[in-house]
Structure 1
Amino acid sequence: MTATQDPSHPSAVARLEVALAQIHSPEAKNVFTAVFADSARWEAEAADRRAGAGALRGPLDGRIVSVKALFDVAGTVTSSGSAVLRRRPPAAKDAEVVKRLRAAGAMVIGKTQMTEFAFSALGTNPHDGMPANPRDRARVPGGSSSGAVVSVIGGMADIAIGSDTGGSIRIPAALSGAVGFKPTSGFVPTTGVFSLSSSLDTIGPIAANVEDCFLADQVLSGEVAPSRLRPASPGTFRLNIARGRLFDRCEPEVLAAFENAMERLRSGGLQIKDGSIEAALDDLAHIDKIGTFPSVELGATLRSLGLSELDGIDPRTRARIEAGAGILGTDYVRMVRLRQAAIRSFEQSFGNNEVFVVPTTPIRAPSTSSVAEDTAFHELNGLVLRNPRVANVLDCPAVSLPLPVDGLPVGLMLIGRRNGDRRLLEIASCIEGTLRPA
């Protein structure tokens, strides 16, 4: 039963007004790039009418949803966090996922801030400003879906839709304390979405819980399940701790939160063993020696938009684009083939009832001041990308769950088998419930 069905819950109109008021509060600075108050109010009124008639459209009817600034929304410019794209004409129509959200009865409240072209992971943006981490305003929120995570934690949206090319949903979820889900590629259409990397881009939700991520994923993928998400039973799956280099350089607080969570899960009856994905990481290292897919493919995207010159782009972003410009076509083909082989090999290494677990990021949210200098920025940016990007290159579904901690948020990442998205969410729901404070 959704909130709009239950008379004890506020109406969609009332909840929307609370969210809009929050958007105009000082805490919401730099969270949104555009707010669709008028259309959202119309959608809220329509949702309340459907609820009164018992004619809800689906699992997101009457829910407040924000969308990242790289999604086309009819009548608005798709800036993708970059000053050089503000001169583009407004989008003629909604991106496919935005159409699906509206058709499902969601209230699309606005577009959220992001890093330039979605090409960095800390959340900084020299053009439009950075939203503060909602848990500690002196720290970065994580990116590239920076405004997305703050919109959820700050009460401005029930669910945020972001993109994830190397961790851009899961990193802000981990650093700011939310749930973030990245599906297997191809499940959610990317039509009408600015592309950082056509090879690695995926679309997914950030929410307060696994259930809301599941509901959003149904709408985004167009595959509405016949039943609600049921948590997996503890004895029906196994967690493989991916010991090795993904634990290198972990902060003591991250390691402590991770090990405490494993102990609680064992006490809850879950099967846990040490495992390894070192062979897969070796495969990824071979690709990295040649280059990265985003560096090559973003350059192609910009050229397709007539942007052959990189003037006006943040120098930190430009340096990574220029690195991809020197990669030959033959080298790119080799990267693609190496990735395909790595995906096949990793897919055969475990089954649908197994998931690999690691800290989502080895560190907690850095202070904003600590990333002001270029060398430190690039080092910390690479460090927070290190673990999440594995799931993108290997094309696996992955979810980040917030661990129970007293201080800054710490994320637990689950990596599932390719195309095993629903099973991964069932397992994530079980873990979420087991770790939930009594």
Structure 2
Amino acid sequence: MALAPTIRAKVEDCLENAANPRGEGSNTFTRIYADEAKLTADYFDQALALGIELPPLAGMVVSIKDLFDVTGEVTRAGSRARTGEEPAPRDAEIVRRLREAGAIIIGRTTMTEFAFSGLGLNPHFGTPANPWERDQRRIPGGSSSGAAISVTDRMAEAAIGTDTGGSVRIPAALCGLVGFKPTARTVPLQGTLPLSPSFDSIGPLAPSVGECARLYGVLSGHNVSPQPPSMRPPATFMVLKNQVLEDLDAQVARTYEQTLNLLSDLGFKLVERHSGAVANLAEIMQDGGIVAAEAFEWHETLLGRKGAAYDPRVRSRIERGAKHRAADYIRRLQLRTRLISEWERELTGFDAVLAPTVPTIAPRIGELETSDEAYSRANLLMLRNTTIVNALDGCAISLPCQEPATAPVGLTVIGASRSDWPLLSLAAEVESGIKAVRFKDG
């Protein structure tokens, strides 16, 4: 009988993939912790051999987005403007929790500068290409771009990203991964460079719902076993009809329709509904809305000192926040509170909500790098569906639902605020059904 591979061997495989000159490692990581990862792997291998009980994530190789503090390092957040800033005095709380749980942090991943785009382009440190049709150099999605590619290219087993308007779910959908955006306040933001404190959340990207659940248990500090599907009646889904179905490309539209049919065949109840809360979100998003106002508050001083070092496309989005009056900001926060209440009422009687994660498959990087108009149009489209969940204070998970050997497409399953564990349990059931049935031709 062949011996199981050691944790050290697994780490070395990840490091080899990251160092492959023909791969995407140089565009995926801003820093790799090779020596530390090997030492930690050796420790766990020795502990296993001695029969010592290990923590819950022992030996899991995880990448972290370059938005989280690591003791003694500058958190650059994908920006040249952060070069030379004060190093972090301590680890971010989620980094501390990962280490304590035995995760092996392999490196820090690239991202859209300051997490302010859903496309994943970064002119400073490079943009890793989507695994789908890699020779076409398609976007990975953002802002957690390197997070997704670190997993698809087996440089890590899972990744931790942030999600302010879809930055975990968008790259997961475009790259064929599972991406989970928890209810924001269930995972602490201490030591995470902010974009919009009202909308910011932290979540995992991984190949499966089960791995995301394991990571969420550690990130949130509350390990709960999802309820087995056999103990629940068939779920009832609200199929959201307004806003999320506009401008779908042919691949996404076809795959989404097939997925709904598949779920119906599996016994799930699907009820189409328009949402009044979703219909009225545009008012709090106008001209960047709450996010732009809060982003500018944090960036104002740094922009004054190093504005020329910013990606101009990111800078222009942040600077919209300078035009917002305090009265407008307060009114938008008040409206958001009312819309969250309306959304919670609309969810009564439903286990979750279904929608396409993003409206299109991944566009080519080159097309967006060379045209500000194409960049802005694609960015708005990528963020449109996912931002709904952040604005309405919910939780959501994106599941790959495409046919084999076709472009990745994400199905979003949306839960009410603080329904994270029931949502993960339901998502695992949906994932299992999709994997078992796949799709028929035609």
Q: Which moved more, 1:56-65 or 1:213-222?
A: 56-65
What residue is the counterpart of 2:23 in the other structure? 27
Of 49, 62, 80, the match for 1:83: 80
Could you give the per-residue CA deviations for residues 114-139 of structure 1, whole angstroms, max 9, x where no partner exists? Answer: 00000011110011110111122210
Taking the aligned partners of 1:80 and 1:416, their CA distance within structure 2 comes to: 29
Taking the aligned partners of 2:230 and 2:429, their CA distance within structure 1 comes to: 5
What residue is the counterpart of 2:130 in the other structure? 133
Aligned amino acid, residue 285 of structure 2: D
Matches within 5 A, 1:360-375: 360-372=357-369, 373-375=371-373
Q: How far off its partner does 1:430 sit?
A: 0.4
Could you give the per-residue CA deviations for residues 394-423 of structure 1, whole angstroms, max 9, x where no partner exists? Answer: 010000000132321000011101110001
Corresponding residue SS for 1:79? coil
Aligned amino acid, residue 395 of structure 2: P
Q: Which moved more, 1:181-190 or 1:239-248?
A: 239-248
Distance change in 2, residues 1:21/1:309 (3 Å): closer
Q: How far off its partner does 1:231 sit?
A: 4.1
Give the number of equivalent residue pairs. Answer: 431
More helix as a share of residues: 2
Q: Which runs of 5+ in 1 are unaligned?
A: 1-5
Distance change in 2, residues 1:9/1:271 (3 Å): farther
Could you give the per-residue CA deviations for residues 210-246 of structure 1, whole angstroms, max 9, x where no partner exists? Answer: 0000000000001122x36634667332111101221
Taking the aligned partners of 1:217 and 1:49, their CA distance within structure 2 comes to: 27
Contact 2:76 2:83 in 1 (8 A): yes
What residue is the counterpart of 2:11 in the other structure? 16
Distance change in 2, residues 1:283/1:228 (3 Å): closer
Distance change in 2, residues 1:433/1:166 (3 Å): same
Aligned amino acid, residue 164 of structure 1: D
Contact 2:227 2:422 in 1 (8 A): no
Corresponding residue SS for 1:236? coil
Q: How far off its partner does 1:269 sit?
A: 1.5
What residue is the counterpart of 2:169 in the other structure? 170
What residue is the counterpart of 1:379 in the other structure? 377
Identical positions, percent:
40
Q: What is the root-mean-square deviation in Å for CA atoms of aligned residues?
A: 1.8
What residue is the counterpart of 1:296 in the other structure? 293
Contact 1:77 1:89 in 2 (8 A): yes
Aligned amino acid, residue 340 of structure 1: T
Aligned amino acid, residue 248 of structure 2: C
Corresponding residue SS for 1:391? helix
Matches within 5 A, 1:12-411: 12-25=7-20, 26-28=22-24, 29-137=26-134, 138-225=137-224, 227=225, 230-231=228-229, 235-277=233-275, 279-289=276-286, 291-303=288-300, 307=304, 310-351=307-348, 354-372=351-369, 373-405=371-403, 406-411=405-410
Q: How far off its partner does 1:8 sit?
A: 5.2
Corresponding residue SS for 2:280? helix
Distance change in 2, residues 1:193/1:350 (3 Å): same
Taking the aligned partners of 2:166 and 2:81, their CA distance within structure 1 comes to: 24
Could you give the per-residue CA deviations for residues 332-381 of structure 1, whole angstroms, max 9, x where no partner exists? Answer: 11111111111111112114852111100010000112212000100000
Taking the aligned partners of 1:293 and 1:308, their CA distance within structure 2 comes to: 24
Taking the aligned partners of 2:14 and 2:170, their CA distance within structure 1 comes to: 24
Q: How far off its partner does 1:150 sit?
A: 0.4
Compute the TM-score of the two structures, normalised by the length of structure 1. 0.94
Q: Which moved more, 1:267-276 or 1:93-102?
A: 267-276
Q: How far off its partner does 1:64 sit?
A: 0.2
Could you give the per-residue CA deviations for residues 291-314 of structure 1, whole angstroms, max 9, x where no partner exists? Answer: 422211111112365855522111
Taking the aligned partners of 1:353 and 1:329, their CA distance within structure 2 comes to: 37
Contact 1:352 1:416 in 2 (8 A): no
Taking the aligned partners of 1:85 and 1:420, their CA distance within structure 2 comes to: 36
Taking the aligned partners of 2:282 and 2:234, their CA distance within structure 1 comes to: 33
Contact 2:288 2:317 in 1 (8 A): no
1:429 aligns with 2:428: yes
Taking the aligned partners of 1:68 and 1:90, their CA distance within structure 2 comes to: 16
What residue is the counterpart of 1:419 in the other structure? 418
Q: Which runs of 5+ in 2 are unaligned?
A: 438-442
Aligned amino acid, residue 324 of structure 1: G
Q: How far off its partner does 1:275 sit?
A: 1.8
Taking the aligned partners of 2:4 and 2:132, their CA distance within structure 1 comes to: 27
Contact 1:302 1:308 in 2 (8 A): no
Distance change in 2, residues 1:42/1:353 (3 Å): farther
Corresponding residue SS for 2:184? coil
Taking the aligned partners of 1:241 and 1:233, their CA distance within structure 2 comes to: 24
Corresponding residue SS for 1:75? coil
Aligned amino acid, residue 404 of structure 1: Q
Compute the TM-score of the two structures, normalised by the length of structure 2. 0.94
Taking the aligned partners of 1:435 and 1:184, their CA distance within structure 2 comes to: 25
Distance change in 2, residues 1:258/1:345 (3 Å): same
